[in-house]
Chain A
């Protein structure tokens, strides 16, 4: 799907740029300052249509923030070295940038609805594009509430450009978000937003078979779009149907056994929810079992440093960094909580065994009940 989408977008863009370049009336900025005014501050729009300029600024700057946030899925920390810290730092920017982006699109939509002349000249396709531009970030935001395995998402996208493909997690909201993005990528070159419709008009008409070429081009692109969108939608639907629409949270036994023995995604997906639930149970209800406190996670997952003592969160080797750094997700737990286990009464291996024993009790207990 993404190969097809990327191909359509890139080819569309290339052709568009080519036609631009051929056009004698192509706008050219006189000086670098003018260039900045035109491209970064949308000077033309500012004097032409103030409302459009505001919406345009909101949309494009919001989009820039969102794109920066999504770098965490496209880049590996090792490639950037110390610059990776900037990606981490920029994360909240994207979180709010998405809202700004949606405000901009909504503004364009209102403009089309409220300005009579514009309304008359608006087609269904115009509104469809705006709806798509709203739908993509809206579904994206929903993914913030239903956590997916973003490490797997990242591996999927890195896999697309490497020889090794990785599967996507089958979460309906995630798949919908990505499908909408692909649809947007494919629709963009044909929409007013990139004015690619003009492509076919600019094809040399005097060439023998020009119209034939045009028709064939339309057929090829149409087929790519259809196959690129319909097939993945089917595959995704089958995958989701097979895995179930919503996954019930695992009970204590699965949680304890699975996150150690082979299914780390259980914890990768759910640990923020678990920690918050535990927090509420502990703080409000006073049920202070050691297994429902973050202390337990910290003790079991302690990583020893060069001096043989557990390292703190400051150390890049700390357990939490394994994923959090890779996905550029900030951890603020340890601003208040201790990131190192307390002076251990027993070694961590003993503790793990005693936990395992405890969970075995639960398994027996539930069987009896």
Chain B
């Protein structure tokens, strides 16, 4: 989709978009460069590779704490309708028990932002896509609500919107009849911030870490290099961008 979009640009429109890029850079130039603009600094180019990821340290995660879930619900205005089976749930606390030892662990699971994502594979309209920086998103202008992605996702990360929604957050459009999931707070990340769940967790035990997996100097890359971390269901070879420590 991204490619065909580029090809369809007429010269004049391309010029218009270039002007847009210039506009973005100029207004931000006096301050910090808040994000890498695609027109000026292509994401994914050699040497400047970005892959956003998360690391959850399960040993640090308080089993009874749901701050990350609350933060997510607040950030995106996810409200329940008293129907747990269909209420939106972008991040949830999952409890896992080892049948051998009986040891139980509780930790948050959200969209794992796989590099080889099953939801992207099965999407018939190309609405599910991997962004160049590894975040898996849904273009809801293309989503027809077929729910294949929900079936395909091994992490049960995708939700279907069953109810009419009003008063959405401006940065997070949501609508009945489309699929949705954790966006890794892409609106914050694009502006140089961290996801809401990570921010909330940092105020507590700091069990969640967010950063660029491809940058060897980032805190998250150093931790992954130093400690034994795991991807959930790594046997499926979906290569999630979310990793767990102490699983």
Q: Which A residues form the contact surface with B (CB < 8 A)?
A: 248-253, 273, 276-277, 279-281, 283-289, 291-293, 295, 298, 312, 335-338, 340-342, 358, 361-362, 365-366, 369
**For the complex, what is the distance from the CA of A67 to the CA of B17, rounded to whole Å?**
39
B187 part of interface (Cβ distance < 8 Å): yes
1/0 per residue, CB under 8 A from A, across B12-44: the answer is 110111011111101100000001011100010
B204 part of interface (Cβ distance < 8 Å): no
Contacts A281-B17, A291-B23, A362-B23; is A336 near B12 (CB within 8 Å)? no
Cβ B167 vs Cβ A285 within 8 A: no
Contacts A249-B13, A358-B27, A365-B26; is A286 near B170 (CB within 8 Å)? no
Contacts A284-B5, A298-B170, A341-B170; is A361 near B26 (CB within 8 Å)? yes
Which B residue sits closest to A284, measured CB to CB? Answer: B2
**For the complex, what is the distance from the CA of A27 to the CA of B123, rounded to whole Å?**
58
User: B residues within 8 A CB of A251?
Assistant: 15-16, 19
Contacts A286-B35, A340-B167; is A248 near B2 (CB within 8 Å)? no
**For the complex, what is the distance from the CA of A167 to the CA of B213, rounded to whole Å?**
59
Cβ B23 vs Cβ A288 within 8 A: no
Which residue of A253, A288, A361 contacts B190 across the interface (Cβ within 8 Å)?
A288
User: A residues within 8 A CB of B168?
Assistant: 336-338
Cβ B23 vs Cβ A286 within 8 A: no
How distant is A361 from chain B, measured CB to nearest CB, in Å?
A: 6
Most buried by B among A292, A365, A366: A365
Residues of chain B in range 166-183 having any CB-CB distance to chain A below 8 Å: 166-171, 173-176, 178
Contacts A286-B186, A288-B35; is A366 near B5 (CB within 8 Å)? no
**For the complex, what is the distance from the CA of A113 to the CA of B232, rounded to whole Å?**
65
Cβ B140 vs Cβ A336 within 8 A: yes
Which of the four size classes fits the interface of chain B? Answer: 35 or more
Cβ A285 vs Cβ B19 within 8 A: no
Contacts A288-B187, A288-B190; is A248 near B20 (CB within 8 Å)? no
Cβ A338 vs Cβ B38 within 8 A: no
How distant is B200 from chain A, measured CB to nearest CB, in Å?
A: 21
B1 part of interface (Cβ distance < 8 Å): yes
Cβ B22 vs Cβ A249 within 8 A: no
B131 part of interface (Cβ distance < 8 Å): yes
**For the complex, what is the distance from the CA of A285 to the CA of B6, rounded to whole Å?**
11
**For the complex, what is the distance from the CA of A283 to the CA of B186, rounded to whole Å?**
9
B141 part of interface (Cβ distance < 8 Å): yes
B191 part of interface (Cβ distance < 8 Å): yes
How distant is B10 from chain A, measured CB to nearest CB, in Å?
A: 8
Cross-chain pairs A/B with CB under 8 angstroms, 12 sampled: A277-B13, A281-B38, A285-B38, A286-B190, A287-B21, A287-B35, A293-B171, A298-B170, A336-B140, A336-B165, A336-B168, A362-B19
How distant is B118 from chain A, measured CB to nearest CB, in Å?
A: 20
**For the complex, what is the distance from the CA of A250 to the CA of B17, rounded to whole Å?**
11
User: A residues within 8 A CB of B21?
Assistant: 287
Which A residue sits closest to B167, measured CB to CB? Answer: A338
User: B residues within 8 A CB of A280?
Assistant: 1-2, 5
